[in-house]
């Protein structure tokens, strides 16, 4: 039972509070969704603490993104891989509580002042910021396969298809699966 709750690593309360606080701080920066903070999550759990390898982190994100449900599920998988159910609770609570509280307060303010010039300028400025954060996330997630020409060609192909067509992203996921299945992304 103890291994289920705290994971195989025997994680202590210091690790859990560290996860909660760091993911909470990142949640306040998650413009465009939790996935935009994945580069810093990767830096923190892989590079700074060594709790996961690059491949484990990328797999955590991939598994959660392939599953039906909200985009933020990858945070729970990362938490699970670090500290079991306690890690899930720490990462999800850290990711959801601060940002949800801020979003509710901002929505009330935004409703009240929606036609103000400053509010319109703020909204317009968020689009390029979100795009930059998503590109950074994509770059971090390609790290394990950057030496593979097939995988790296798949990235601009996917972006081009999403921008220029109305194709469902699920078909692009299928193309990626086929590329991997035929060993073209190794």
85 against 69, higher pLDDT: 85
In terms of average pLDDT, the best of 74-83, 121-130, 149-158 is 74-83
So what's the pLDDT on residue 27? 92
**Cα–Cα nearest to 21, from 57, 58, 49:** 49
Q: Which two tokens stand for residue 87?
A: 């890690």
So what's the pLDDT on residue 9? 53
Least confident of 11-20, 45-54, 127-136: 127-136
CA gap 9, 162 in Å, rounded: 40
Kindly indicate the confidence band of residue 19, based on its pLDDT and cuts at 50, 70 and 90.
very high
∠ CA 61-56-131 to the nearest 5 degrees? Answer: 35
Strand, helix or coil at 51? coil
The residue ranges of every structural domain in the chain are 2-144, 147-186
Whether 19 contacts 90, CB under 8 Å:
yes
Proportion of the chain above pLDDT 90, given as a percent: 39
The whole-number average pLDDT for the span 78-106 is: 93
**Cα–Cα nearest to 154, from 180, 182, 181:** 180
146 against 37, higher pLDDT: 37
So what's the pLDDT on residue 183? 82
The whole-number average pLDDT for the span 53-68 is: 88
- Chain position carrying tokens 């790290």: 143
Backbone angles phi, psi at 165, to 5 degrees: -130, 175
Rg (CA), the chain: 18
So what's the pLDDT on residue 44? 97
Alpha helices, H only, the chain: 2-6, 13-27, 38-42, 54-66, 73-112, 117-141, 149-164, 169-181
Handedness of CA 130, 131, 135, 138 (dihedral sign): positive
Name the average pLDDT for the chain: 86
Whether 161 contacts 172, CB under 8 Å:
yes
| Residue range 95-142, pLDDT digits in tens | 999 988 988 998 898 888 888 898 888 888 888 887 888 788 878 878
So what's the pLDDT on residue 146? 79
CA gap 33, 24 in Å, rounded: 13
| Residue range 25-44, pLDDT digits in tens | 999 988 778 888 999 999 99
- Residue 158 reports pLDDT greater than 60: yes
So what's the pLDDT on residue 5? 53
CA gap 100, 9 in Å, rounded: 30
CA gap 129, 29 in Å, rounded: 11
């Amino acid at each position: 039972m103890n291994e289920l709750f705290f994971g195989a690593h025997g994680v202590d309360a210091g690790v859990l509070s560290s996860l909660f606080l760091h993911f909470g701080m990142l949640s306040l920066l998650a413009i465009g969704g939790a996935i935009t903070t994945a580069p810093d999550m990767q830096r923190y759990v892989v590079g700074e603490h060594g709790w996961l390898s690059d491949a484990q982190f990328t797999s955590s994100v991939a598994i959660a993104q392939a599953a039906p449900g909200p985009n933020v599920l990858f945070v729970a998988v990362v938490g699970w891989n670090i500290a079991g159910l306690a890690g899930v609770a720490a990462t999800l609570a850290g990711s959801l509580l601060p940002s949800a509280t801020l979003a509710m307060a901002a929505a009330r303010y935004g409703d009240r002042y929606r036609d103000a010039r400053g509010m319109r300028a703020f909204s317009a400025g968020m689009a390029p910021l979100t795009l930059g954060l998503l590109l950074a996330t994509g770059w971090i997630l390609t790290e394990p396969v950057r030496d593979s020409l097939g995988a790296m060609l798949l990235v601009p192909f996917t972006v081009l298809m999403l921008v220029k067509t109305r194709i469902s992203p699920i078909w692009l996921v299928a193309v990626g699966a086929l590329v991997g299945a035929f060993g073209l992304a190794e």
